Structure 1
Amino acid sequence: MPPADLATAPVPPGRPAGAATWRSRLAGLPWPAIALLVLATATFVGFLVYPTYPNYDSYYSMLWGREILHGHLPSFDVYRTPTEHPLAIAFGAALSLLGRGGDRVMVFCTEASFVVLCAGVYRLARRAFTPLVGLAAAGILCTRFDFPFLAARAYIDIPYLVFVVWAAAFELERPRRGGIVWVLLACAGLLRPEAWILIGLYFLWMASGELGAASAAQRVRRWTRYAAVAAIGPVVWVAVDFIVTGHPFFSLQHTSGLADELGRTKGLSEVPSAMKRFFYSLAKAPVIYAAIAGFVVALWLAPRRVVMPTVLWLIGTGTFVLVGIAGLSVIDRYLLVPTLMVMVFAAVSLAGWTMLREDLIIRKVWAVAAGLIVVYGVVFTATRVNLRVFDSELKLRGDSHHALVRLLDQPRVRAALHRCGPLSTPSHKLVPDSRWVLGAGAGGVLARADPAARTRIQRGVALYVVDRAALLRQALVDKSDDVFNDIPMSGFSRLAFNDYYSVYVRC
């Protein structure tokens, strides 16, 4: 119909012209872009309001990057260091050029990655199902507070999820796409070894597409290129381990040993119960039940559309089981990818009615029911979720770090460190933060829980945690932590203190 005839277009009987115009204008708004803008703005405001800092693993990535820039091999084998991740170390090296403020830049980049992750979940769910399903999936993700909390603490899991989800979205849009999918999966493989399974399966998927489509010589050349890209993660990881420690499989052995020391290993019989507990913790029961219903509905309405989310769920849960069998740390973060797919299927329960024809009565009933469920979910969350816990956890991370910086920056504390010896902390948890603040090397900050440091901590500067909440997160973290490591040692005198920490010295 020509634009001039729009004003005279007949209005359906029983529907006011003004209401029809209002609905058409509302429907014509770019809701995904608006939602992304709102999320980005809220994330930036949160970054400013809650000045959090990187977690234990991420601080070590920056420390190792700084050591490399200073011409030293990274200290992978000091007391209870985390597993190294090559891409995180490279990023940490770049951030260390910014000086002490590089830690806040890392948090900003990770929180920005969370926004990109939400966009990737939307794109994956939109392509698999419908745009409204995509919006619902991204919305569910924003309400699962574990994920933005990981971003606020600069966990590498968020960038890893970005690489995996966007690779899946691009591949779903154009099967056997290659190119950008290879790049994203290779980056994921440099962050977490679980991605090696994904990229290995993608190699088989790409290689199978070449059968009968080219000559034998062409197939071999393409398969060789595919294999070279797929091998980037394992090869780089092994090379870094070998160069730094002399042991090509140091990361695997170190991770396994540390998991056993911290009590994070599970026998095969315990893996199913741990998996169930982690799923319920990350996604919450209502989302899981909605996901089961959404999967059944999607399988009935459009079985081909469930393939990509189902494959990612199966690979993610299968990897979790393999991690448990291998004796590595069994933690909830290894289930983040399948948890995202649970959210996608839950979104089908809420917005899957958009896959039906408009003239079907079941579409209208489903839409109304979904709307009521959303209202119920909002009311349920508002009345039962304690946002003060989230607020206090974020404030604790920022306030305790500021207190640590203020204490260690005092001239008399710096003078005592220079005159009397190394800084010691109750456990390993405060070691990377203190090293980053002080610009110290591996021998400049020790953990009193480390049996190998017993003789060196008899003199020097001793840091103690005095705030109860900080004590449970920075000193008494694991069952093996000894409470006496946070009690001032004999012969030390107090030098400085604040609300979170105190410093004692003995020369």
Structure 2
Amino acid sequence: MPPADAAAATASRPNPATAPEGGRFARVLGLPWPAILLALLALATLIGFFVYPMYPNYDSYYSLIWGREILHGHLPSFDEYQSPTEHPLAVAFGALLSILGRHGDRVMVFCTLASFVVLCAGIYQVGRRAFTPLVGLAAAAILCTRFDFPFLAARAYIDIPYLAFVVWAAAFELAKPRRGGVVWWLLAAAGLMRPEAWLIIGIYFLWMCSGELGADHPDAATRWRRWAKYAAWAAIGPFVWVLTDFVVTGHPFFSLQHTTGLAEELGRTKGLAEVPEATRRFFLNLAKAPVLYAGIAGFLASLVLVPRRVLMPLALWLIGTGTFVLVGIAGLSVIDRYLLVPTLMVMVFAGFTLAGWTTLRPGWWVRKVWAIVAFGVIVYGGVFTATRVNFHNFDAELRLRGNSHRSLVQLLDRPEVRAGMRCGPVSTPNHKLIPDTRWILDASPKQVIARADDRQSDRIKQGVSIFVVDRGALLRQALVADTDDPFDNVPLPGFHRRAFTSYYAAYVRCR
């Protein structure tokens, strides 16, 4: 090869190791710009926490309730009417927060919002360590604009801290392959929050074991001891989960059976033939079309330019998508939140579409053209988001969730309602308001029931009946599924209204 051609080939070859860290823009006021942006995100999140006083979702309230039951010396009520699947680490965290009394729910929301900031930092680190800092920044920026994720955080969904554990485990492993240590801790914690992490930690177990093979590695006895230690780490999640189910319910696989039954009851099961379409639809819902297409383009580009650096994001995408398919085949709930991990990897690859030009050596014309095109894509993405996202609806949804909960607190604290509880249980239209009501009243499962539960047909004829009177709350808490009976939100004969707020009304009957 002539010298000129060799020099041109060298200039065009990707070299992430020498990619610029940001040049003259790398530091602002003496601080690295990623740190400044992270601080601004944390500040915006803190402001949002106070501007929109949100409360936990259905599942997270149950974690608080179960944790409180444990502190009171009772076994948690895992098998109540349409209760969600328990998650051991979430229950333990709920027990800790329940010490704070009613304020524990708001602290849970704060911790989940903080987890979202940590997650954004983790996505930045994955993009930076797999590719370049600008790729990581682009991926984190995309995450912040996918409003489903911050909304999950604002409602204290367990998915956000779970994602933070998984993403940071990947970031640490990228920094030092076969690192062990902190990676084991993070994956074990993730395995106590969602069973999907069991497949991730199982594959990491095989990865760590493979590193012990070869002539330059320890003798057989030492190797077997290390493998046993790795196996113990990988078994923490399944072991604690099964042990918890057995101690509480007497059935070691209660969570699996309960989840399957609940999925069928709520209509969340999918046949194998429906899984591909559900996968496509959920990816589009979570990432949105421009990010999904940019992710595909970024994956193909990175596969050509830096194939070895693709491995970690690709592995997490394959594991996450494969787990979703297996969940569908097993007849468990098929919901979009099970695709959150692979969706994050789509964002990383989309970040490569926007900033992958930083993996090329400076001065090459392709790098300049790519940067110009990426800028055009960013403008298009901004216009797409601004024209399709209804920020008024987003604001209204957040305010509805917060205001309705505070309205329920006001209703249940009324003396007339407390007096009516002496006449019988508190009943709600269906299962949706049960955890909120139990948390506010510090009530047992027998004290708060659902009128939709056929087993309670005799008990709902007296006591306190809660009814939803606001249209927005009605569609989210009383008429959620096609199977919900509108008459469950209509007072029975003999009940008289004793208290009301802008969202709810309480009727009482004493025999």
TM category (shorter chain) comes to over 0.9
1:343 aligns with 2:347: yes
* 2-structure distance, mates of 1:327, 1:382: 38
Which residue pairs with 1:125 in the alignment? 127
Q: CA deviation at 1:413?
A: 1.1
Per-residue deviation at 1:247? 0.2
Closer, same or farther: CA 240–449 of 1 in aligned 2, 3 Å: same
The reply on whether 1:245 has 2:265 as its aligned counterpart is no
Tell me the residue number matched to 2:471: 468
Give me the whole-angstrom Cα distance separating, in 2, the residues matched to 1:226 and 1:68.
31
2:459 to 447, 456, 460: 456
- What is aligned with 1:394? 398
User: Counterpart of 2:497?
Assistant: 494
Task: Say whether residues 1:334 and 2:333 are aligned partners.
Answer: no
- Which 10-residue stretch deviates more, 102-111 or 381-390? 381-390
Task: Tell me which residue corresponds to 1:75.
Answer: 77
Q: Who is 2:383 aligned against?
A: 379
C-alpha distance in 2, partners of 1:71/1:337? 36
Amino acid corresponding to residue 208 of structure 2 in structure 1: M
SS state of the match for residue 429, structure 1? coil
Count of matched residue pairs: 484
Partner residue of 1:356 out of 347, 357, 360: 360
Shift of 1:25: 4.8
Is residue 320 of structure 2 the alignment partner of residue 316 of structure 1? yes
What amino acid does structure 1 have at the position aligned with 2:342? P
Q: Give me the whole-angstrom Cα distance separating, in 2, the residues matched to 1:28 and 1:87.
A: 39
What residue number does 2:155 align with?
153
Q: Which residue of 2 aligns with 1:441?
A: 444
Alpha-carbon distance between aligned partners in 2 of 1:277 and 1:255, rounded to the nearest angstrom: 23
Matches within 5 A, 1:74-473: 74-212=76-214, 213-417=217-421, 419-473=422-476
Give the whole-Å Cα distance in 1 for the aligned partners of 2:329 and 2:381: 37
Deviation at 1:476, TM superposition (A): 1.1
Over residues 106-145 of structure 1, what are the superposed CA-to-partner deviations in whole Å (9 max), with x where a residue is unaligned? 0000000000000000000100000000000000000000
Q: Which amino acid aligns with 2:74?
A: H
The separation in 2 between residues aligned to 1:102 and 1:51, in whole angstroms, is 13
Amino acid at match of 1:405: V
Cα deviation for residue 490 of structure 1 reads: 1.1
DSSP 3-state at the match of 1:400: helix
Corresponding residue of 1:60: 62
For structure 1, which runs of at least 5 residues remain unmatched after alignment? 1-22
Q: Distance in 1 between matches of 2:99 and 2:334?
A: 34
* Whole-Å separation in 2 of the counterparts to 1:289 and 1:248: 43
TM-score w.r.t. length of structure 1 = 0.94
Return the alpha-carbon distance in structure 1 between the equivalents of residues 165 and 25 of structure 2.
33
Q: CA deviation at 1:54?
A: 0.2
Secondary structure of the 1:390 match is helix
Q: In structure 2, what is the Cα distance between the partners aligned to 1:504 and 1:27?
A: 63
Q: Which amino acid aligns with 2:234?
A: A
Amino acid across the alignment from 1:132: L
Q: Which secondary structure state, in structure 1, belongs to the residue aligned with residue 464 of structure 2?
A: strand
- How big is the alpha-carbon RMSD for the aligned residues of Structure 1 and Structure 2? 0.9
For residues 26 and 448 of structure 2, the distance between their equivalents in structure 1, rounded to whole angstroms, comes to: 59
Letter matched to residue 25 of structure 2: L
Rounded Cα–Cα distance in structure 2 between residues aligned with 1:124 and 1:282: 20
Match of 2:294, as an amino acid? A
Higher relative contact order (CA 8 A, sep 6+): 2
Q: Residues of 1 paired with 2:340 and 2:284: CA distance? A: 12
Q: SS at the partner of 1:428?
A: coil
Deviation, structure 1 residue 421: 1.2
129-138 vs 475-484, greater mean Cα deviation: 475-484
CA distance in 2, matches of 1:506, 1:289: 58
CA distance in 1, matches of 2:501, 2:208: 59
SS in 2 for 1:495: strand
**Residues in 2 aligned to 1:245 and 1:299: alpha-carbon distance in whole angstroms:** 49
Aligned AA (1:214): P
Q: Report the 3-state secondary structure (helix = DSSP H, G, I; strand = E; otherwise coil) of the residue aligned with 1:82.
A: coil
Specify whether residues 317 and 24 from structure 1 end up closer, same or farther in structure 2 by C-alpha distance, changes over 3 A only. closer
Give, as a single letter, the amino acid of the residue that structure 2 aligns with 1:468.
Answer: R
Letter in 1 for 2:27: G
C-alpha change, 1:200 and 1:42, in structure 2 (3 Å) is same
2-side partners of 1:355 and 1:422: how far apart? 65
**Structure 2: how far apart are the matches of 1:379 and 1:297?**
24
Distance 1:202 1:377 in 2: 36
Partner in structure 2 of residue 46 of structure 1:
48
Write the letter of the residue equivalent to 2:206.
L
The amino acid of 2:168's aligned partner reads W
Residue type matched to 1:488 in 2?
P
Moved over 2 A (4+): 23-29
Q: Percent identity?
A: 72
Tell me which residue corresponds to 1:10: none
Q: Which amino acid aligns with 1:66?
A: R
Letter in 2 for 1:310: L
The Cα shift of 1:380 comes to 2.7
Decide which moves more: 268-277 or 470-479: 470-479
How far has the Cα of 1:27 moved from its partner? 3.8
Supply the distance in 1 between the matched residues of 2:188 and 2:228 (Cα, whole angstroms).
16
CA distance in 1, matches of 2:361, 2:323: 39
Aligned counterparts of 2:194 and 2:240: Cα–Cα separation in 1: 12
Q: Which runs of 5+ in 2 are unaligned?
A: 1-21
Looking at structure 2, the residues matched to 224 and 504 of structure 1 have their Cα atoms a distance apart, in angstroms, of: 60
Letter in 2 for 1:211: L
Distance 1:335 1:478 in 2: 23
